[in-house]
Amino acid sequence: MENFVMELRNSKGQAFHIPGFDPHNGNADAKYLLLLEAPGPAAVTRNYVSLDNPDPTARNLSEQLAAADIDRRDILLWNIVPWYLGDLERSVIRNPNSADLAEGIEHLLRMIQQLPRLAAIVLFGKSAREAFLPRSIHAERRRTQKYGLNDRCKLLGKTNKHRPLA
């Protein structure tokens, strides 16, 4: 998995801040891919997309995983757009545009191929859902075939405190 991040960093260049995978998570052995929008300032500062980052997203995800009794060794935490979308001062983050999402999903598809135990992809936030989830049943069939997900894993679109992940 580290090779994937290094290749991505090399392809995007130094102007793009791309945090790596948290070594405390399951990563290549993960059953669940938790897919967020884009890294926040804490992920860039700490250089990991992590449940241990000091931000509300990490705190909320940790609470939801605990409520669902999902061990962090069973997850891979990543972003539909894996590079930071904010300014250099890390004070303003822009929303991903269609080009960010299209490029992000192409990188994501390469990464998914490295996850042999993947059972489900959990989409958090509007951008992840809109980039990944199809708009119709026919589009869903085409998309799952294109991504090679047919019988391998499920897409889960919405979660909240009242409906745990599992």
pLDDT along the chain (166 residues), means of 10: 93 91 95 93 91 93 94 96 83 87 91 92 84 55 58 51 40
Domain 2-156: top CATH class: alpha beta
pLDDT attached to residue 125: 82
pTM comes to: 0.79
Contact 124, 159 (CB under 8 A): yes
What angle do helix axes 2-12 and 98-112 make, rounded to 10 degrees? 150
Q: How many residues in total does the chain contain?
A: 166
Query: 108 - beta bridge partners?
Result: none
* Amino acid symbol at 73: R
Whole-angstrom distance, CA of residue 25 vs CA of residue 69: 15
Q: Which two tokens stand for residue 155?
A: 């897409």
